[in-house]
Amino acid sequence: MDVFQQIVELEEKIRNTPYHKGTEHQVGRWRARIAKLKEEILEKESKKGGGKTFGIRKSGDATVVLVGPPSVGKSSLINCLTSAESRVGSYDFTTLTTIPGMMGYRGAKIQILDLPGLISGAAKGKGRGKEVLSNVRMADLILVVVDINRLGMVEQIKKELSDFGVRLDQTPPLVTIKKTNRGGIKITSTTPLTHLNLKTVQELASEFRIHNGEIIIKEDITLERLIDAFLGNRVYLPYLVVVNKADLISENKNLELQDYFILVSALKKQGIEALKSAIWDKLRLIRVYLKPPEKQPDFSSPVIIKKGENLKNLLEKITLPKKELISRAKIFGPGAKFPGQRVSLEFQPQEGTIVSFLGG
């Protein structure tokens, strides 16, 4: 029996099995087996494609990829956002490889990648889908790009990404899985589980060939997220939906536009600044300014970090003499209780915080 047939038969078993507490663990095991078989398919397809990713390396303060079907205006969009010269045409697959560009915004350099059009079955390798999706996994933000005539493809694109192990606007499961040499399986949950029981967790551990170990669950986890935790190879990325050709909306009065859609017209350069601002916010970027001792801060060259990062993370991004000896800093402006407040490197700066490192 080939892998695809095994998946079909397992899915048929799940459909024909009433789901309740008595069958939950068996259905969970079948779903875990399906997830493993799909991973096997992806692995085989990756080997066939030689693991190609169009040879693009991450650059700048963050990387954003444009993902969508052919001919929705991704090339025109990247030309509006950056100085890239992506080929524009009115026929499918104008872009045959990844086109990189750099968007300057609020002192940050944000890499934008225009990927070839994504078609149905991309996760299985159709239409160079493997190369496209491999580039997606390296991104910091995904822009799902459609036009007003193909709004219905948003869910299809999200499914292709999900099939490839990309989880949109989700956080990694709060599950720790530690294998041991003996002692059987010990399962601890710090919160009540309403979606599954401990027997199901035990069955999944067995399905993934974990017979000795400790599993600590810190959220009211669903079966799908628990399977993701066992697989351990999912990518969790934020995303935005960009609807191009918004200048044609008046011709399509019956459109069902969602509140989270960002409307643009690459042709008429409408909505581009709003999109740039949305990209900045979704990437959670902030600007921090450096102040050399006894000098004024340099407001022309901010250091770009993400919200939640600390001064230790910031220090890794810059060049300073003897920075390995630096353990404290003075801060001014936003985040400081008073000008020149001394803080440790664990301090998390805010947008506009001024930092003067001490020592070194």
What is the model's pLDDT at position 314? 96
Residues 279 and 240: beta-carbon distance below 8 Å: yes
Q: Are residues 76 and 146 in the same domain?
A: yes
Q: Which amino acid, one-letter code, is at 349?
A: P
**Cβ–Cβ under 8 Å, residues 100 and 112:** yes
CATH of the domain at 79: 3.40.50.300
Enumerate the H helices of 247-317 as residue ranges.
272-283, 311-316
Q: In order along the chain (360 residues), what is the average pLDDT of each group of 10 residues?
A: 84 88 87 87 59 64 91 89 61 54 94 74 48 78 93 90 91 96 94 92 92 96 94 93 89 71 93 96 97 90 96 93 90 96 96 90
Are both 271 and 303 inside the same structural domain? no
Within a domain: residue 18?
yes
Same domain, 267 and 223: no
Same domain? For 146 and 275 the reply is yes
pTM comes to: 0.83
Q: Which amino acid is at 181?
A: N
Three-class SS string for 99-158?
EEEEEEECCEEEEEEECCCCCCCHHHCHHHHHHHHHHHCCCCEEEEEEECCCCCHHHHHH
- Look up residue 357 and give its two tokens: 């490192």
Residue 264 is given by DSSP the state -
d(CA 252, CA 24): 46
Range of the domain at 119: 62-170+244-283
179 and 323 part of one domain: no
Residues 164 and 197 reside in one and the same domain: no
- DSSP 8-class letter at 249: G
Tokens of 121: 């079955």
Nearest to 39 by CA among 238, 228, 237: 228
Residues 164 and 104 in one domain: yes
300 and 329 part of one domain: yes
pLDDT at position 256 = 72
Are both 91 and 116 inside the same structural domain? yes
Question: Would you say residue 117 lies in a domain?
Answer: yes
pLDDT of residue 93: 41
Q: What is the pLDDT of residue 202?
A: 92
Structural domain includes residue 163: yes
Report CA Rg, the chain. 24
Give the tens place of pLDDT for each residue, 70-105.
Answer: 888 888 899 999 876 555 444 444 444 577 889 999
So what's the pLDDT on residue 299? 92
CA atoms in the 13 A half-sphere facing the CB of 227: 20
pLDDT for 50:
43
